[in-house]
Structure 1
Amino acid sequence: MRIAVVTVVMVMCATVAHADVRPQRDFNLQKFAGKWYRVGLAYDSPKFVPYRDKLKASVGIITVLPNGNANLTMWDATPAGCRIKVYQYEKTNVAGQFTYFSTRHNMVKDITVVSTNYTDYALVIKHKVFHREYTQVALYGRSHTVRNSVIQRFRAFALSKGFSSDSILTPPPAENCPPSASGH
């Protein structure tokens, strides 16, 4: 009984903490589709600290599915080489908010597109509750570089969500990931 009450309280607190995150007004998935580079990341997981200096900008392609869901194909440069993952984002009843099932953590996570102009940048927040509440803020750009004003907006948003300056990164581009031969 005690565990159930604690779990309910944790979920309620996480919902309240996440409730202030609103998606892009009039979000348009068709305009959001296409190639994006993850050029900024705010993440405070203690397990992530040893990898901070090794992080490279990732490349992803959002593909809209006929049912209104989307797939994100993401290439990440890792010490073991260039890794590809496909995430299946399911639409919710709120445009700009999605869920996906994380096979790594065996749980559903929330994705919200907080702000985008569709042609240059997007601020995206990923939220989950897993032993404690975790949030990740990502800055995406249509190219490897974004304007300094966009980076400052990303930093201000991450700081407003409780991230320390040390947990906010703007990694360099990855070399040959995805491999040039892939055509992406």
Structure 2
Amino acid sequence: MAMSLLWMGFALLGILKAQAQTRPEIPAPDLSRVPLQLNFLPREFEGTWYIVGLAGNAFKRAEQEQFKMYTTTYKLQEDNSYRVTSTLLRGNRCDKFVRTFIPNGLPGQFTLDNMLSHGLQDYIVRVMSTNYNEFAMVYFKKTVDSTDYFKMTLYGRSEELKPEVKENFINLVKSLGLTNDNILFPARVEKCIHVKA
């Protein structure tokens, strides 16, 4: 009996350790600390963006080579929501993911339509900064099983951005609690990123 209790204790310890490893160490910042683009212009934000940089509390720089550049296209709908299509290379094929971002309180802030059907407790999208024709920095936070995962994406209208834009992205990311180890710059690829959404 004592031996089986000991083994159960080890098993429980192993489960708790595995859960701790999957939960991010860096907490999501309070939304009041996340910038919001002033006077957000929905029509100007519409169109295709290349994913030039990524940072988040679930990313590790050691995984850099796993990440390939992809595109996300925002199509403004009549109700001011966006139909958002991401096209990325998976294995040897182009995969598309379509979702709808609906306005959430402030101009430039959105939530995911039907988030409960995706197993999410909360989902926030916030355009932090953009000049619309060159770059955008967008914050995403999702809550799953009471755990907050957040990421920031550096979008570019082209596949290459000026070094100072990347530097501004790195500084913003660090101001929200992430480190160099949480920042990735996906490798450029030719396949899939030039496909129309």
Same fold flag (TM > 0.5): yes
Q: 1:66 to 1:95 in 2, by over 3 A?
A: same
Q: 1:15 to 1:170 in 2, by over 3 A?
A: closer
Q: Could you say which structure has the larger radius of gyration?
A: 2
Q: 2:178 aligns with which of 163, 167, 170?
A: 163
> Aligned residue for 2:131?
117
> Aligned residue for 2:80?
68
How does 1:17-166 map onto structure 2 within 5 Å?
Answer: 17-45=30-58, 51-79=63-91, 81-100=93-112, 101-102=114-115, 104-130=118-144, 131-166=146-181
> Aligned residue for 1:4?
none
- Partner Cα distance (1:175, 1:33) in 2: 23
For residues 115-166 of structure 1, the C-alpha deviation after alignment (integer angstroms, 9 at most, x for no partner) is: 0000100000001232422210100000001100000000001111111101
Q: 1:129 to 1:105 in 2, by over 3 A?
A: same
When the two chains are superposed, the root-mean-square deviation of aligned CA atoms in Å is 2.3
TM-score when scaled to structure 1? 0.82
Q: 1:183 to 1:133 in 2, by over 3 A?
A: closer
Q: 1:37 to 1:15 in 2, by over 3 A?
A: closer
In structure 2, runs of 5+ residues without a counterpart are: 1-26
Aligned residue-pair number: 168
Per-residue deviation, 1:20? 1.7
Contact in 1 for aligned 2:33/2:176 (Cα 8 Å):
no
Contact in 2 for aligned 1:18/1:127 (Cα 8 Å):
no
In structure 1, runs of 5+ residues without a counterpart are: 1-13
SS of the aligned residue for 1:96 comes to strand
- Partner Cα distance (2:196, 2:28) in 1: 41
- Partner Cα distance (2:182, 2:125) in 1: 19
Q: 1:16 to 1:156 in 2, by over 3 A?
A: closer
Q: 1:152 to 1:92 in 2, by over 3 A?
A: same
TM-score when scaled to structure 2? 0.77
Per-residue deviation, 1:104? 4.6
- Partner Cα distance (1:97, 1:117) in 2: 16
- Partner Cα distance (2:66, 2:28) in 1: 32
> Aligned residue for 1:6?
none
Q: Percent identity?
A: 26
Q: 1:135 to 1:174 in 2, by over 3 A?
A: same
